[in-house]
Amino acid sequence: MAERTLIIIKPDGIQRQVSGQIISRLERRGFKLIGAKFLHINEELANELYSVHRGKPFLSGLVRFISSSPSLVMVWEADGIIEIFRTMMGATFGCNAETGTIRGDFSCGKRFNLVHGSDSSESARREIAIFFRPNELVNYDLSNAHWIYGEND
């Protein structure tokens, strides 16, 4: 099975109505959508998602932001997607993110940076399980997979 990652369009992305533009980038890169939920992440879920940041000074502000308005929570699949998507997101703060990345093209602040992407396969497994039961992730073939992945030998 190809690698999977959790990608969230955070409240600022939904409120600014740029979800379609972000999803277009994922589709254009050849990623496959496996699961999606539009929901208002509550404080409890936000604390679970960001449990690795427990004790850090920005956690309470981060939880307030993520639980302030709805998010689009998705699972996407592709070989190497975790690292590829981290590169596509750009640096954590929009003000430091390179132009051409999602954060670098859509933001210039710090906390409000539009997207979340898992940072390792262990994080991806843990984070996906917070939002999706296994039977909510859909298995299917992309008809153009051959033309996206090609021959890599």
Q: Report the distance separating Cα 35 and Cα 56, nearest Å.
A: 30
Chosen from ligand UDP, Mg ion, none, partner binding at 113 (C-beta under 5 to 8 Å by type): ligand UDP
- Number of chain positions touching ligand UDP (CB under 6 A): 9
Structure tokens at 104: 């670098």
Binder of ligand UDP out of 46, 88, 116, 124 (CB under 6 A): 116
CB 86 within 8 A of CB 15: no
15 binds ligand UDP (CB under 6 A): no
96-115 positions binding ligand UDP, by CB under 6 A: 110-111, 113
- Kindly give, in sequence order, each residue whose CB lies less than 8 Å from that of residue 91, ignoring residues fewer than 6 positions away: 97, 98, 101, 103, 104
Q: Among all residues, which ones are annotated catalytic? A: 116
List of residues contacting ligand UDP (CB under 6 A): 58, 61-62, 92, 110-111, 113, 116, 119
